[in-house]
């Protein structure tokens, strides 16, 4: 355990003794102190990795004086080194009779010699000074009268007491326990209190645990609990020296007092399974299967030291109460089909834990269906009976629904808000529902445009302010923006107007409180001879009630856009963009098409967007149909859409396969296309690589959500192979069966 901190810098005593003395070395018997005076102690010198002087810089001498052995540790050279952190380990059958630090000019000094089997010296010099030359330590070793055993021990009493154990019962089939690491004087939190813990202490001397700067970490270093990191915190290190926490054991008891209750060991969690963010206290977390728990029992943890076999005092106890049955629950992991109807535009929200209503992460999906008498607005959730579907549109027909969770107010459950296009009303509307039963609480108009909106983008900030961007096609194509004021009324202002086709639209409030963002693409599609796109991407910022719009440079033709923000509030974009490709056809003129569709990720550096290619599409051409060839076989892999699943993690969908083109007519005739969904995660410098996180079916229209910053889940439309002949005959439908996936 010690060597993990001490970087493997160890040396046996024989490395530092004169050659003539090497023949006298003999290892300890490992048993009692019988005839110890006739045996030379074997000593292991361990120097911490953070020590200014290394093992090679020191000289250790050992000689016998009557019935005891004497040792001396010397710095024989005048070397630069502002600290010495050293431990001498030997058989606990020996103990230190007396020990003296001969050079005590350090800014911080610690000498530990009251524990069998170990002698430790720590010296940290004032800034600019070096450890003095000459003898640093002298000591005598005498028999301890103890059996050989480990020098380490589990922290006793309050030194290792866990007092913040909490349980989280929001899981589907497990309960999560969380607690903080407790081992007083283990200042570097590496599981053992040792001489290396002087280093973090020295770096924070004089700091307070209540000044608002690294308070959590300073509380770890405040060994005496007086709210200040000072020299008095050296004393707890001496008292708790070599106290070790190898991990924790989780117990279930039949009463709230672990000291008197009957307890059953459930699980062990090893120290290596804990986590620690920089400048914080180390934390532990463990999932326990509900099948192993008994309602009404109590859970607690005890630290243990594997070397000594000891356990520390029990933590506070938490009661496990059987989970109250709730309406909204988290489905089993994996993929499930919600509806086999032709579904369009699913919108997912992962609910928070709401007392008597929902588990944390329970999915609610709003969508419309096609192919029947109309396109009703539907809601599905997972409950005791599995997936349940409810018509929430009062018999109306809708398109492009979006689902939001409104902030809870006055101790009431949160409400659900749906923004959708009303086909009968020819307008975008707001519909507000009670979470308990989805009864309609209110409805009002959001905004209108010319015709039906081709796309809608909705966002809500942390204060509950709402913004809706909606794009319209046809003559007088436009992008409109609607916002709801403090009185609850909606106001609409124009963003863009023209005759272009809008290819992508994404509106977001800035999480840092800066001006809201709107990214959209628009351009022309030339099908007069082939298929040529000419698209641009524009950025809008809302300031003083109007949108300031400017074109963004992009070498290709940006299409689908999705705007998100990193954890530090840096804006990031995921887009698809089309590139031109020229096909050479025998005996005919070459044909150029805007056919290659790639995926790019962009990050905003404060003045401009920096772009990286996340996925590059491919295209190939071969001849077929015998000789002379009668057809071209086009082999392609093209991106179709992209969206953020969470900050720094995206999913793109691609279409791949082959298309047969008649050479004489230059028209597609047959072929087969498949879809594939690929998850990606950000690496260094905005570079994205494929990830195996998503294991669901290939699909499109993925809507991602997570509760409390956890792992995201999604609702999406499952897809299968696409027949090119069906596509050409108009039998292909963009809708599909609705599925849900969670990790």
Mean pLDDT across the chain, nearest whole number?
87
Report the share of the chain in percent with pLDDT over 90: 63
Per residue, the 3-state secondary structure of 405-468, as one string, reads ECCCCCCCCCEEEEEEEECCCCEEEEEEEECCCCCEEEEEEEECCCCCEEEEEEEECCCCCEEE
Q: For residue 72, what pLDDT is reported?
A: 95
Sheet holding 591-604, edge to edge: 557-565, 571-583, 591-604, 609-615
Q: For residue 322, what pLDDT is reported?
A: 62
What residues are paired with 63 via a beta bridge? 70
Model pTM score: 0.62
Query: What's the length of the chain?
Result: 743
pLDDT at 140 over 80: yes
Domain ranges in the chain are 2-143, 157-190+198-234+241-319, 557-694
State the CB neighbour count (10 A cutoff) for residue 32.
13
- Determine the average pLDDT of the residues in 415-431: 94
Are the C-beta atoms of residues 645 and 664 closer than 8 Å to each other?
Answer: no
Q: For residue 723, what pLDDT is reported?
A: 67
- Residues 50-66 have pLDDT tens digits of 999 999 999 999 999 88
φ, ψ dihedrals at 386, nearest 5°: 90, -145
Radius of gyration in angstroms for the set of CA atoms belonging to the chain, rounded to a whole number: 35
- Residues 322-332 have pLDDT tens digits of 655 689 999 99
Q: CB-based burial of residue 359 (10 Å sphere; 0-12 exposed, 13-18 middle, 19+ buried)?
A: buried
- Residues 572-619 have pLDDT tens digits of 999 999 999 888 776 677 888 888 999 999 999 999 999 999 999 998
- Residues 340-364 have pLDDT tens digits of 999 999 999 999 988 888 888 999 9
pLDDT at 30 over 50: no
Task: Answer whether 2-143 and 157-190+198-234+241-319 agree in fold.
Answer: yes
Measured between alpha carbons, how far is 345 from 400 in angstroms, rounded to an integer? 6
Q: For residue 5, what pLDDT is reported?
A: 36
The listed range with the strongest mean pLDDT (173-182, 267-276, 418-427) is 267-276
Q: Where are the alpha helices (DSSP H) in 284-371?
A: none
Find all residues with CB under 8 Å of 586, minimum gap 6, and list them: 623, 629, 663
Q: For residue 147, what pLDDT is reported?
A: 60
Who has greater pLDDT, 669 or 216?
A: 216
Q: What is the CATH number of domain 2-143?
A: 2.60.40
Q: For residue 60, what pLDDT is reported?
A: 95
- Residues 70-82 have pLDDT tens digits of 999 999 988 888 9
Measured between alpha carbons, how far is 517 from 601 in angstroms, rounded to an integer? 17
* CATH architecture for segment(s) 157-190+198-234+241-319: Sandwich (2.60)
pLDDT at 419 over 80: yes
Q: For residue 668, what pLDDT is reported?
A: 77
Q: For residue 9, what pLDDT is reported?
A: 30
């Amino acid at each position: 355990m010690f060597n993990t901190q001490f970087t493997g810098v160890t040396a046996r005593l024989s490395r530092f003794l004169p050659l003539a003395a090497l023949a006298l070395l003999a290892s300890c018997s490992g048993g009692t102190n019988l005839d110890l005076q006739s045996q030379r102690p074997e000593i292991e010198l361990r120097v911490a990795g953070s020590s200014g002087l290394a093992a090679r810089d020191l000289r250790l001498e050992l000689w016998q004086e009557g019935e005891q052995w004497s040792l001396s540790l010397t710095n024989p050279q005048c070397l630069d080194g502002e600290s010495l952190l050293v431990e001498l380990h030997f058989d606990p059958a020996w103990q230190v009779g007396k020990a003296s630090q001969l050079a005590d000019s350090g800014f911080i000094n610690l000498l530990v010699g009251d524990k069998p089997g170990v002698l430790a010296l720590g010296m940290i010099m004032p800034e600019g000074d070096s450890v003095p030359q000459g003898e640093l330590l002298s000591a005598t070793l005498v028999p301890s009268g103890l059996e050989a055993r480990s020098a380490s021990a589990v922290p006793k009493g309050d030194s290792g007491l866990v007092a913040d154990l909490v349980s989280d019962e929001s899981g589907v089939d497990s309960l999560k326990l969380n607690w903080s690491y407790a081992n007083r004087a283990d200042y570097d939190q590496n599981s053992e209190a040792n001489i290396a813990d002087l280093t973090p202490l020295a770096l924070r001397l004089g700091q307070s645990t209540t000044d608002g700067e690294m308070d959590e970490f300073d509380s770890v270093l405040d060994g005496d609990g007086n709210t200040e990191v000072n020299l008095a915190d050296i004393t707890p290190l001496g008292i708790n020296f070599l106290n070790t926490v190898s991990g924790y054991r989780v117990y279930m008891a039949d009463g709230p007092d672990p000291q008197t209750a009957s307890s059953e060991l459930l699980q062990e969690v090893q120290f290596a399974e804990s986590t620690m963010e920089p400048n914080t206290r180390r934390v532990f977390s463990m999932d326990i299967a509900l099948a192993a728990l008994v309602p009404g029992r109590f859970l607690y943890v005890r630290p243990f030291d594997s070397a000594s076999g000891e356990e520390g005092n029990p933590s506070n106890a938490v009661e496990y109460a059987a989970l109250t049955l709730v309406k909204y629950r988290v489905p089993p992991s994996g993929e499930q089909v919600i509806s086999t109807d032709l579904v369009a535009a699913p919108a997912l929200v992962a609910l928070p834990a709401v007392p008597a209503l929902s588990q944390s992460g329970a999915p609610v999906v709003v969508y419309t269906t096609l192919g029947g008498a109309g396109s009703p607005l539907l809601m599905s959730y997972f409950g005791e009976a599995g997936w349940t579907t409810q018509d929430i549109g009062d018999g109306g027909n809708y398109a492009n629904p979006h689902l939001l969770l409104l902030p809870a107010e006055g101790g009431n459950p949160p409400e659900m808000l749906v923004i959708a296009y009303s086909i009968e009303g020819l307008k975008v509307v707001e519909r507000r529902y009670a979470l308990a039963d989805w009864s309609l609480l209110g409805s009002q108009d959001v905004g209108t445009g010319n015709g039906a909106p081709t796309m809608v983008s909705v966002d809500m900030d942390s204060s509950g302010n709402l913004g809706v961007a909606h794009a319209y096609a046809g003559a007088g194509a436009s992008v409109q923006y609607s916002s709801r004021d403090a009185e609850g009324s909606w106001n609409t202002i124009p963003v863009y107007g023209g005759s272009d086709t809008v290819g992508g639209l994404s509106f977001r409030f800035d999480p840092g409180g800066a001006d809201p963002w709107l990214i959209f693409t628009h351009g022309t599609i030339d099908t007069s001879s082939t298929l040529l796109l000419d698209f641009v991407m524009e950025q809008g910022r809302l300031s003083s009630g109007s949108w300031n719009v400017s074109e963004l440079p992009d070498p290709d033709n940006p299409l689908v856009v999705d705007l998100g923000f990193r954890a530090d509030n840096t804006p990031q974009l995921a887009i698809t963009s089309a590139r031109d490709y020229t096909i050479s056809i025998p005996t005919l003129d070459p044909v150029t098409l805007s056919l290659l569709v790639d995926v790019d990720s962009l990050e905003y550096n404060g003045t401009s967007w920096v772009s990286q290619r996340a996925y590059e599409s491919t295209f190939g051409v071969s001849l077929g149909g015998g000789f002379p060839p009668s057809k071209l076989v086009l082999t392609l892999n093209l991106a179709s859409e992209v969206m953020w699943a969470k900050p720094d993690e995206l999913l793109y969908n691609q279409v791949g396969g082959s298309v047969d083109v008649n050479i004489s007519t230059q028209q597609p005739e047959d072929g087969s296309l498949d879809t594939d969904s690929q998850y990606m995660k950000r690496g260094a410098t905005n570079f994205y690589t494929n990830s195996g996180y998503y294991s669901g079916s290939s699909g499109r229209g993925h809507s991602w959500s997570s509760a409390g910053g956890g792992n995201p889940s999604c609702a999406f439309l499952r897809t299968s192979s696409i027949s090119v002949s069906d596509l050409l005959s108009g039998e292909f439908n963009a809708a599909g069966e609705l599925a849900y996936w969670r990790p």
